């Protein structure tokens, strides 16, 4: 006997969980399509060189990489963005190109709460449009998806790499050290200003008057976004970044997104190296699970795969995290079955009658099961009750003799004997 096991960080999705996941994916797809996004899929396997060097030092270590039988270096996709960039470079797509993709990605990470080695991302991206209007639309979609799923307790954090770069420049931090600067800054709401300052000092980032500026503008408390904005508005990059965020706010507001759902946040940095403009993250307050969505503009990325450079922006929902939050908050009714009607089987002699009746009910549009054996009625009713099947049709010798059947409502316990030809109508009424 082989001990049944699955690799660490990988999971089976049993029906109960699969139904929740499927519902979330359907809701998302519907919203995506309502905003004009079209579906796309790419292989799970890419050549390693396609993925490597795109995610920063930490990211590269988490790529599942191996050699195929022909000795080629291949890798499981780490996200959906790089494969999209590859696609955008390989095909002549109409632009702006708006696609969505819901698919698993793999990271050789150590699993923990809400974090797995195989997990699903749900991405929307807009390629070929440099206006921040495109970024804003992504956030409108994000908001619409979360609303459609029943979320209310979340915050869309918005920042801009241009502003951060202008800030770094103002502080005299050279380009090579910006990632470390951002990493330190990103921890502001987690570890507090003191720790951030110490981190920056330890990295030797703060020379000249930089430390004073950081203390007074970034870590002083109050509206540090405004303070930094004032600091960088003189620089061309900084001003451009600020203008983009203004445009985004205008679009969100006009789309009817309440101001309480989003916030400009100077400490949002995002880990990936490839972001160049507006960046986003959505956090939920209740289960502390990190972000449920992340993304931003990556204008330079597609240029890595083709001479023709192309602006692009995108966001990614973490399906697992949405599921975790929805489960912990009891936001979704759990079901064990999608069956609407169970036809009981009374005895061998009534087998064909049962099959025929079930077939007719299916033709009428009901998800219908015929109980698979002539067990005791008690057992058949328990089967329906345990799965939450709302309607049971009992077809015994008495009923069969004169083309009738007993319809039982499992929620109320009510039942009635009906002509078989009136069953469908009665079930429809019962289920509505």
Partner RNA sequence: GUGGGUGUAGCUCAGCCGGAUAGAGCGCCAGGUUGUGGCCCUGGAGGCCGAGGGUUCGAACCCCUUCACUCACCCCA
Give the interface with RNA as residue ranges (CB under 7 A).
5, 8, 56, 58-59, 62, 79, 107, 109-117, 119, 121, 183, 186-187, 190-191, 270-272, 281, 288, 290-294, 316, 318, 320-321, 376-379, 381-382, 384-386, 394, 396-399, 406, 408, 410-413, 415
Q: For the chain, how many residues are written?
A: 432
For CA atoms 54, 59, 60, 65, give the dihedral sign.
Answer: negative
The first and second tokens of residue 77, run together, are 């996709």
Least separation in angstroms between residue 295's CB and RNA is: 7
Least separation in angstroms between residue 182's CB and RNA is: 8
Q: State the Cα–Cα distance between residues 431 and 390, nearest whole angstrom.
A: 8
Which of 398, 360, 378 lies closest to 370 in space, CA to CA?
A: 360
Which of 410, 332, 346 lies closest to 151 in space, CA to CA?
A: 332
Phi, psi of 263 (to 5 degrees): -155, 135
Measured N-to-C along each axis, helices 236-254 and 132-149 cross at an angle, to the nearest 10 degrees, of: 40
Closer CB to RNA, 111 or 128, in the complex = 111
Closer CB to RNA, 128 or 388, in the complex = 388
Q: State the Cα–Cα distance between residues 176 and 292, nearest whole angstrom.
A: 29
For CA atoms 395, 401, 403, 407, give the dihedral sign.
Answer: negative
Tokens 């069969």 belong to residue: 400
Q: State the Cα–Cα distance between residues 341 and 420, nearest whole angstrom.
A: 14
Q: Could you tell me if 372 and 345 are in contact, meaning their C-beta atoms sit under 8 angstroms apart? A: yes
Closer CB to RNA, 93 or 193, in the complex = 193
Least separation in angstroms between residue 38's CB and RNA is: 22
Least separation in angstroms between residue 180's CB and RNA is: 9
Write down the H helix ranges in 52-128.
56-61, 81-90
Closer CB to RNA, 235 or 316, in the complex = 316
Q: State the Cα–Cα distance between residues 113 and 301, nearest whole angstrom.
A: 31
Which of 158, 151, 154 lies closest to 284 in space, CA to CA?
A: 154
Residue 259 class from Cβ within 10 Å (0-12 exposed, 13-18 middle, 19+ buried)? Answer: exposed
Least separation in angstroms between residue 40's CB and RNA is: 18
Output the DSSP codes for 344-369: ----GGGHHHHHHHHHHHHHTT--EE
Closer CB to RNA, 238 or 296, in the complex = 296
Closer CB to RNA, 242 or 262, in the complex = 262
Buried b (16+ CB within 10 A) or exposed e, 337-367: bebbbbbbbbeeebeebbeebbebbeeeebe
Least separation in angstroms between residue 234's CB and RNA is: 29
Phi, psi of 313 (to 5 degrees): -150, 150
Closer CB to RNA, 119 or 229, in the complex = 119
Closer CB to RNA, 167 or 284, in the complex = 284
Least separation in angstroms between residue 255's CB and RNA is: 22
Closer CB to RNA, 21 or 115, in the complex = 115
Least separation in angstroms between residue 366's CB and RNA is: 17
Closer CB to RNA, 29 or 406, in the complex = 406
Least separation in angstroms between residue 153's CB and RNA is: 16
Q: State the Cα–Cα distance between residues 68 and 241, nearest whole angstrom.
A: 44
Closer CB to RNA, 119 or 235, in the complex = 119
């Amino acid at each position: 006997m082989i001990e049944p096991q699955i690799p660490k960080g990988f999971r089976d999705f049993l029906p109960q969980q699969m139904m929740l996941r499927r519902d979330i994916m359907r809701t998302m797809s519907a919203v995506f399509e309502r905003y004009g996004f079209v579906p796309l899929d790419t292989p799970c396997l890419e050549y390693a060189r396609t993925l490597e060097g795109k995610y920063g030092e930490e990211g590269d270590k988490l790529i599942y990489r191996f050699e195929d039988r022909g000795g080629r270096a291949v890798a499981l996709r780490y996200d959906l963005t790089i494969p999209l960039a590859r696609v955008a470079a390989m095909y002549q797509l109409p632009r702006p190109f708006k696609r969505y993709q819901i698919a698993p990605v793999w990271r050789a990470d150590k699993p923990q709460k809400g974090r797995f080695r195989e997990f699903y991302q749900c991405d929307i991206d807009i390629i070929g449009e440099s206006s921040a209007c495109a970024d804003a639309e992504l956030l409108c979609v994000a908001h619409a998806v979360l609303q459609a799923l029943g979320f209310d307790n979340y915050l869309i954090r918005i920042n801009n790499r241009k502003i951060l770069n202008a800030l770094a420049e103002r502080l005299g931090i050279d380009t090579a050290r910006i990632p470390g600067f951002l990493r330190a800054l990103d921890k502001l709401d987690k570890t507090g200003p003191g720790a951030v300052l110490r981190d920056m000092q330890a990295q030797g980032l703060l020379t000249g008057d930089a430390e004073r500026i950081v203390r007074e503008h970034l870590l002083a408390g109050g509206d540090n976004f405004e303070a930094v904005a004032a600091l960088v508005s003189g620089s061309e990059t900084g001003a451009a970044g600020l203008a983009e965020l203004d445009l985004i706010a205008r679009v969100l507001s006009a789309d009817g997104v309440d101001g309480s759902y989003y916030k400009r946040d100077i400490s949002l940095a995002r880990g990936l190296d490839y972001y160049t403009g507006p960046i986003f993250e959505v956090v939920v307050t209740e289960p502390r699970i990190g972000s449920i969505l992340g993304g931003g503009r990556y204008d330079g990325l597609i240029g890595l795969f083709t001479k023709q450079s192309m602006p692009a922006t995108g966001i990614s929902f973490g399906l697992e995290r949405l599921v975790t939050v929805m489960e912990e908050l009891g936001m979704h009714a759990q079901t064990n079955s999608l069956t609407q009607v169970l036809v009981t089987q009374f005895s061998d002699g009534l087998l064909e009658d049962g099959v025929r009746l079930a077939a007719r009910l299916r033709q009428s549009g009901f998800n219908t099961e015929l109980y698979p054996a002539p067990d005791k009625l008690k057992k058949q009713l328990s089967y329906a009750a345990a799965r939450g099947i709302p309607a049971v049709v009992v077809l015994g010798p008495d009923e069969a003799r004169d083309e009738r059947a007993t319809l039982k409502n499992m929620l109320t316990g009510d039942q009635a004997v009906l002509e078989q030809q009136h069953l469908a109508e009665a079930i429809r009424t019962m289920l509505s």
